[in-house]
Amino acid sequence: MSVTHTAETNPWLTTGERMVYDNPWIRVTEYQVIRPSGNPGIYGVVHFKNLAIGVVPMDADGQLWLVGQYRYPLKAYSWEIPEGGGPLDVDPLISAQRELLEETGIRADRWDLILTMHLSNSVSDEQAFVYLATGLSYHDSQPEETEQLQLRRVSLDAAYADVVEGRITDSISVAAILRLMLMKKENRLIYG
């Protein structure tokens, strides 16, 4: 059996583009393209004007904090790690610190980047940065006007069970919890 290897170059040719939609958070562009097969087509891309930011606040007992909120696009309630957006030209760590305080009232002494990921790379350029926040102190939260939040303190094992059983489905939260469980199994998870 032979395997064909292709170069890691762009096989797409863009022949035109038009902006379809634009608001303060996203821009949708339709591109006229020549596909890798050589045939003409279109490709829609959602450009995100912010980075996606996720934070797992973990206390000295190894418990983490989840945020519950109603997610308008899903028309469903969602439990997830604290997350939000950060401007493209701002250090993601600064945005993570702001998001954690806004949503939970928590500040952290230690910040470790545990994950970067592209959230839906077939249709968008959205990039996520996920931090583990430890050395926690508790203050007043400052949620945005679009947020009606609940907080829940859970063990990593309980959060992992929620992921496995499909009760936590938010992609950043799923990836972060799986990453933390792997770090725990490899004895690389530091609480405190």
Rounded mean pLDDT of 3-19? 85
The pLDDT tens digits of the residues spanning 104-128 come to 999 999 999 999 999 999 999 999 9
CB 56 within 8 A of CB 132: yes
Would you place residue 5 in the very low, low, confident or very high pLDDT band (cuts 50, 70, 90)? low
CA distances from 162 to 31, 68, 157 (A): 39, 13, 9
Model confidence at 192, pLDDT cuts 50, 70, 90, reads low
From the list 128, 115, 112, the residue with the least C-alpha distance to 51 is: 128
What is d(CA 56, CA 131) in angstroms, rounded to the nearest whole number?
Answer: 6
Distance CA 157, CA 159 (A): 5
pTM: 0.91
pLDDT digits (tens, 9 = 90+) for 45-93: 999 999 999 999 999 999 999 999 999 999 999 999 999 999 999 999 9
Q: Indicate whether 100 pLDDT > 80.
A: yes
* CB distance 109 to 134 below 8 Å: yes
pLDDT of residue 4: 57
pLDDT of the residue at 119: 96
